[in-house]
Amino acid sequence: MSICQSGFDFKPHEGKITITVQQTHPLLQLTSMLDWNSLVEIVLPDLKSTTAGGKWWLGRKLKLRIHLAVYILQQMYNFNDRQMETFVKDNAAFQIFCGKQIVKDWHFPDHTKIEEFRSRLSAETQKNLANNIASQSVSLGFADPRDIDIDSTIQEANMTYPSDATLLCKLATKVKTVVNYLNHNVTPFSTVKPMEINLKKIKSIARRYLFTSRNTEPDKKNNLFKYLFDCVKSEIGLAIENMRCLVPCDYIKSPWNILKSFKQIIGLAPKYLNDVEQFIKTGKMVPDKLLSFHLKDVKCFANKKAGDKKYNFGRRFQLGRITGNFVFVGKCSNTEMNDKHSITTMMHTHNKVFGTTVESVATDKGYYSKRNEKVLKYNNVKLIGMQKPRTVKASEIEKLPIDEQESLINRRAGIEPLIGHIKSGGQLNRSRMKSDKAIEASGYSAVFGFNLRQLIRHNTEKIKREAA
């Protein structure tokens, strides 16, 4: 094999390169398949309601075709905002998908504008976008909504493991940050008597507790945790009381991070300290104990599957698969979204999205209840493949033949790998967002991105069949 060494002695310079994007390119095919008008109808109310002063017809015009296309690409490929800006700049196919040849005065958006557009879309809107793609797949002939499989999955929140030792250190750090600001900017702390918090002492005790050996006696470890709690409470107790005595004019003009920490301390610290103290005295955790200072809608889920984490902290999503391996998602009306209480929600969502009757439904044992059997029977479902626990003897429906039961059970198992693909290709596994609403919305957008990728895959296979 010979070797060519040309090109090493010259530096690249500015030049023009013509790139041809074939009509068979997946993104160009997706552009022609999507019903853009229906997508615009979904996002437009949010954009109008979130405009400053509500006067959406004034000011610089938002290039909706560009931003909506960028949002679609971002969810398909799970890019962050800066990555998305770079790819739109450098990728010709991305630019054509974003309407470079059809939008007047086309430009690529800055990463700050990409984030701003996405933030203006509510969680409900992003859920409707995900379900709209599933509905479009039916119109295109790639899916059939008459057979559905229902399952749930847990989305982890953007937070560390909520051990009390870690939360106590975080609380002390927040109080220390606010105290430093008050000591320099607010009278009388800045002139007469500044507040002091020995954060070094707190972290030293926390390290001793966190790095104790697993073989340490429980009583000794509990005493060390109590010592950490007493230290934290004594160090920050006076500071919290002083903060609660301040009037709004003392802190309202402080930087956003100080103001955010201040509100968290005033609103959450007293209750959290009382909950931890009750746990130390009784050994039992209160049901509504705080798991995070920046997130409220977080639930602890005990994982029963072998090989997974013992506990997950986040929210549960209810997903439904239709024939063709497209997924629709139910609204998260609460963080827990108990399986037994979600069948009605999923059937209502299916009827709203597809508007067709359901011939068969398959679920696992977690969804079984006589009430749910009645709900499916009321919706005229012919084949009900709701797996029953062994303890259940009586049933509201006729028992299916064994071969049909096994067929529905095997079919339902097919939703598991799809959930894995949604998690690996989006933020349904662990969200990058930092607020409750944004975390919920990122779960919906992960389903949105998955359905778009499925749409491309089905269309690519269709083109191959036609060419063969």
Q: What is the pLDDT of residues 415-444, one digit of tens each?
A: 999 999 999 989 999 999 999 999 999 999
Range ranked top by mean pLDDT from 37-46, 187-196, 302-311, 362-371: 37-46
- Is residue 229 located within the same domain as residue 316? no
Q: What average pLDDT is seen over the chain?
A: 91
β-strands 326-329, 360-363: how paired?
Answer: unpaired
Q: How confident is the model at residue 400 (pLDDT cuts 50, 70, 90)?
A: confident
Q: What is the pLDDT of residues 224-276, one digit of tens each?
A: 999 999 999 999 999 999 888 887 777 788 899 999 999 999 999 999 999 99
Q: What's the pLDDT score for residue 307?
A: 60
| Mean pLDDT value of segment 353-380 | 91
Is residue 357 included in any domain, yes or no? yes
| Mean pLDDT value of segment 216-227 | 91
Is residue 21 included in any domain, yes or no? no
Residue whose entry in the numeric block shows the structure tokens 């972290």: 203
Nearest to 75 by CA among 40, 127, 140: 127
Residue whose entry in the numeric block shows the structure tokens 């709209």: 132
How far is CA 438 from its chain centroid? 7
Q: What's the pLDDT score for residue 396?
A: 65
Q: How confident is the model at residue 189 (pLDDT cuts 50, 70, 90)?
A: confident
End-to-end CA distance of the chain: 37
Q: What's the pLDDT score for residue 306?
A: 58
Q: How far apart are CA 130 and CA 121, in angstroms?
A: 13
Is residue 70 included in any domain, yes or no? yes
- Is residue 352 located within the same domain as residue 316? yes
User: Last residue of a domain, which of 68, 94, 121?
Assistant: 121
- Is residue 146 located within the same domain as residue 211? no
Residue whose entry in the numeric block shows the structure tokens 């090493």: 8
| Mean pLDDT value of segment 361-374 | 91
Is residue 183 included in any domain, yes or no? yes
- Listing DSSP states for 248-294 in one string gives HHHHTTS-HHHHHHHHHHHHHHHHHHHHHHHHHHHS---TT--S-SS
- Is residue 44 located within the same domain as residue 171? no
Is residue 60 included in any domain, yes or no? yes
Whether residue 395 is predicted with pLDDT greater than 80 in this model: the reply is: no
| Mean pLDDT value of segment 126-145 | 96
User: Last residue of a domain, which of 121, 148, 172?
Assistant: 121
Domain extent, residue 432, equals: 124-159+309-467
Nearest to 360 by CA among 376, 374, 375, 373: 376
Q: What's the pLDDT score for residue 150?
A: 96
Is residue 191 included in any domain, yes or no? yes
User: Total structural domains in the chain?
Assistant: 3
Nearest to 99 by CA among 189, 34, 154: 34
CATH number at residue 374: 3.30.420.10
- Is residue 449 located within the same domain as residue 318? yes
CB of 315 closer than 8 Å to CB of 332? yes
Is residue 7 included in any domain, yes or no? no
- Is residue 204 located within the same domain as residue 317? no
Distances in whole angstroms, Cα of residue 129 to Cα of each of 62, 133, 328: 20, 6, 10
CB atoms within 10 A of CB 365: 12
Q: What is the pLDDT of residues 77-92, one digit of tens each?
A: 999 999 999 999 999 9
For the chain, give the secondary structure using H, E and C.
CCCCCCCCCCCCCCCCCCCCCCCCCHHHHHHHHCCHHHHHHHHHHHHHHCCHHHCCCCCCCCCHHHHHHHHHHHHHHCCCHHHHHHHHHHCHHHHHHCCCCCCCCCCCCCHHHHHHHHHCCCHHHHHHHHHHHHHHHHHCCCCEEEEEEEEEEEEECCCCCCCHHHHHHHHHHHHHHHHHHHHHHCCCCCCCCCCCCCHHHHHHHHHHHHCCCCCCCHHHHHHHHHHHHHHHHHHHHHHHHHHHHCCHHHHCCCCHHHHHHHHHHHHHHHHHHHHHHHHHHHCCCCCCCCCCCCCCCCEEEECCCCCCCCEEEEEEEEEEEEECCEEEECCCCCCCCCHHHCHHHHHHHHHHHHCCCCCEEEECHHHCCHHHHHHHHHCCCCEEEECCCCCCCCCCCCCCCHHHHHHHHHHHCCHHHHHHHHHHHCCCCECCCCCHHHHHHHHHHHHHHHHHHHHHHHHHHHHHHHHC
Residue whose entry in the numeric block shows the structure tokens 């919906």: 444
- Is residue 313 located within the same domain as residue 249? no
Distances in whole angstroms, Cα of residue 440 to Cα of each of 79, 152, 316, 352, 451: 18, 14, 10, 21, 18
- Is residue 388 located within the same domain as residue 360? yes
- Is residue 184 located within the same domain as residue 247? yes
Q: How far apart are CA 164 and CA 291, in angstroms?
A: 9
Q: How far apart are CA 321 and CA 137, in angstroms?
A: 12
Q: Give the range among 178-192, 313-327, 433-447 with minimum mean pLDDT.
A: 178-192
CB of 261 closer than 8 Å to CB of 197? no
- Is residue 197 located within the same domain as residue 268? yes
- Is residue 328 located within the same domain as residue 228? no
- Is residue 216 located within the same domain as residue 173? yes
Is residue 252 included in any domain, yes or no? yes
Q: In this structure, which amino acid lies at residue 287?
A: P
CB atoms within 10 A of CB 145: 24
Q: How confident is the model at residue 398 (pLDDT cuts 50, 70, 90)?
A: confident
Residue whose entry in the numeric block shows the structure tokens 């969200």: 431
pTM over 0.95, yes/no: no
